[in-house]
A and B are shown apart, each in its own frame.
Chain A
Amino acid sequence: MARYKVVPTKTNLARLKRDMNFAQEGYDLLEQKRQILIVELMGLIDRTADAQEKSEKSLAEAFHALQQAVLSMGRTSVTDLAKGIHIDSDITINFRRIMGVNIPKVEVEVRDYAPYFSLSNTSFWIDETIVHFKTLLNEIGRLAEMRISLMRLAQEVQKTMRRVNALDKIAIPDFKESVKYIEDTLEESEREMFAMQKVIKERLQKTTR
């Protein structure tokens, strides 16, 4: 704890008290912000965990289908086929703000211009793979949205907590100590003044008598 370097006067006392109130208000607001952010974060964590689990399962299925396709047709043919695929995916990202944090909102639109290869000589697994990876794009879009939001919210929580702590543990105690110092000093000098006045009064009475 450190006291601010101030001359103990009534003006400085008033100013310090005003600043202290300001810091206190800031602390209250930031604390509120932190709580709101944490509530948001908590809800999002659960939803993200669910989405992640789901998409990881789909991903595992997709990789399984791909492996089967590669096994039955050979890697070269699959790679060649991929060149002919005509699927277009469009992502739209909008940002909204929660407590000053930019939260993305992702929309994925997948357009499929099938057919793009002959059905003969291609494995059933190829179609499976395509369907799997196509659906994955939507899931990944949603997951990306949530993960990024989560990360940014978490970062903001951290920042807010640092500020809350700085006010709570450093700024406000410092103000309190400085205010106390000035108040004590002023009181002390008032007492001195009072005592001095008494002495003067007594002396005056003595001389007049």
Chain B
Amino acid sequence: MGLKFYTIGDRETVLGFSLAGVPGQVVSTPEEAVEALDAAFKTEGLGIIIISERVAHDIREHVNQYLYNTSFPLIIEIPDRDGPMEGRGTVRDQIRAAVGVRF
């Protein structure tokens, strides 16, 4: 038995992934998102948590706390059906912001 996927996001994202057999939790407020994320991290057997970018953005601090301090499960942020968030920047920008150096 391998590890599983789990989705946290808006209605469309969760529905989409549920069509690929991935369970998930629809969230519409930051409070719900925090709750869902905490619950997911307590669930055994999860390998990757897919979270909508916009949802993750609303609870950035909370997500980062998990992202930087726990090695498991992995969190991956993906755009929702409206596409990537504006002003998100490229991977390069994000890393530059994190490291504080130019490459």
Contacts and interface: CB of A to CB of B under 8 A. Distances in A.
Interface of A: 38, 41-42, 45, 48-49, 52, 55-56, 59-60, 62-63, 66-67, 70, 75, 78-79, 81-82, 85-93, 95, 102, 104, 106, 109-110, 126, 129-130, 133-134, 136-137, 140-141, 143-145, 147-148, 150-151, 154-155, 157-158, 161
Interface stretch (B34-42, B54-62, B84-92): B84-92
A88 B21 contact: yes
Nearest to A82: B18
A151 B18 contact: no
Interface residues of B, number: 39
Interface string B55-80: 00000000000011001101110111
A55 B19 contact: no
Interface of B: 1-5, 12, 15-22, 47-48, 50, 67-68, 71-72, 74-76, 78-81, 83-84, 90-92, 95, 98-101, 103
A140 B78 contact: yes
Contacts, number: 135
A126 B72 contact: no
A79 B17 CA distance: 11
A80 B68 CA distance: 37
The 6 A-B pairs at the shortest CB distance, nearest first, are namely: A90-B2, A87-B21, A91-B47, A133-B20, A63-B81, A144-B76
A129 B90 CA distance: 27
Majority DSSP secondary structure for residues of B touching A: mixed
Contacts of A59: 78-79
A41 B12 contact: no
B19 A126 contact: yes
Contacts of B92: 45, 49
A45 B102 CA distance: 13
A148 B72 CA distance: 10
28 contacts: A41-B95, A49-B91, A55-B78, A56-B78, A56-B79, A60-B83, A63-B81, A66-B16, A66-B81, A67-B12, A79-B18, A87-B21, A89-B4, A90-B4, A91-B2, A91-B47, A102-B71, A104-B71, A129-B16, A133-B17, A140-B76, A141-B48, A147-B91, A148-B75, A150-B91, A150-B95, A151-B98, A155-B68
